[in-house]
């Protein structure tokens, strides 16, 4: 791979948010990854979009936008048109970013299928573990595989920022601690050594997490809403204009990837 100076990602930062819970039909973990330098510009531009929109917004949160509650309450002048209009402005902005430096990731688990196949003795990891493997770890593997010739193993790093209260952060952090200790004990370098920190952040204050919220909500919206409903096409639009890595664990994919421990009649 020939990589020009302008293509280099050095310190990578990834922001994570989710949609749905383990009590719902679907759970989704989503992320956006880019260089530290790029996030600096992103945050300035994002805040300008919110400031210039009418009415002004302090943050983006899709559940509030969809229902016009809290910061997007109708008493503040919000309605379906201008609330979803703000989300669309944010998508247009992200669609124009450098496609070599800015990437989105998501993993969604069909919990109905998960429970059904788990009952049929399929040895499935928890939904949280499945999302972390194919989204959180996916960011790390993308970074390491895309730029193997330019990453300085001594100085370059990846920073993970999860929305506060997410159930995905602690299991992923525990795995990171385990893998880096294993690397230290064996003296063999691991890709996990690239991670510098895993930290919780406040979504309403962090544009990167707000972007991840849009993606997570859009993925779950498509899975749970009827065609033609507001936002039901948002994921498809995002996939066309923003580079992505994704996996949907529905019943068909789970059956292909895992094998039952017992063959039930």
Closest CA to 171 of 4, 22, 3, 13: 22
> What average pLDDT does the segment 41-50 reach?
98
CA distances from residue 65 to 27, 31, 36, 62, 108 in whole angstroms, order as listed = 19, 20, 28, 5, 22
Contact 199, 209 (CB under 8 A): no
Per-residue pLDDT tens digits for 103-142 = 999 999 999 999 999 999 999 999 999 999 999 999 999 8
Per-residue pLDDT tens digits for 80-96 = 999 999 999 999 999 99
- Burial tier of 204 (Cβ tally within 10 Å: 0-12, 13-18, 19+): middle
Contact 6, 83 (CB under 8 A): no
**In the structure encoding, which two tokens stand for residue 133, read together?**
């493997």
Evaluate if pTM is beyond 0.85.
Answer: yes
Q: So what's the pLDDT on residue 4?
A: 39
Q: So what's the pLDDT on residue 158?
A: 92
pLDDT at 40 over 60: yes
Contact 218, 78 (CB under 8 A): no
């Amino acid at each position: 791979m020939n990589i020009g100076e302008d293509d280099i990602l050095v310190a990578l930062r990834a922001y994570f948010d989710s949609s749905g819970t383990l009590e719902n039909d679907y759970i989704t973990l989503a992320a956006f990854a880019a260089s530290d330098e790029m996030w600096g510009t992103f945050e300035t531009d994002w805040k300008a979009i919110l400031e210039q929109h009418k009415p002004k917004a302090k943050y983006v949160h899709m559940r509030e936008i969809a229902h016009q509650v809290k910061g997007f309450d109708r008493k503040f002048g919000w309605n379906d048109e201008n609330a979803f209009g703000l989300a669309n402005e944010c998508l247009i902005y992200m669609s124009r970013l450098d496609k070599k430096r800015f990437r989105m990731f998501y993993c969604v688990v069909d919990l109905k299928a998960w429970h059904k196949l788990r009952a049929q003795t399929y040895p499935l990891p928890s939904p949280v573990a499945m999302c972390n493997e194919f989204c959180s770890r996916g960011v790390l593997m993308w970074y390491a595989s895309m730029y193997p010739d330019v990453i300085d193993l001594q100085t370059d790093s990846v920073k993970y920022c999860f929305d506060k209260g997410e159930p995905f952060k602690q299991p992923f952090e525990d795995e990171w601690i385990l893998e880096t200790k294993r690397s230290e004990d064996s003296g063999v370098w691991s890709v996990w050594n690239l991670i510098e920190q895993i930290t919780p952040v406040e979504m309403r204050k962090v544009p990167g997490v707000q972007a991840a919220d849009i993606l997570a909500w859009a993925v779950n919206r498509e899975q749970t809403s009827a065609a033609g409903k507001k936002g039901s096409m948002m994921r498809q639009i995002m996939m066309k204009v923003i580079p992505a890595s994704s996996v949907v664990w529905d019943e068909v994919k789970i059956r292909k990837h895992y094998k039952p421990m017992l063959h039930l009649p």
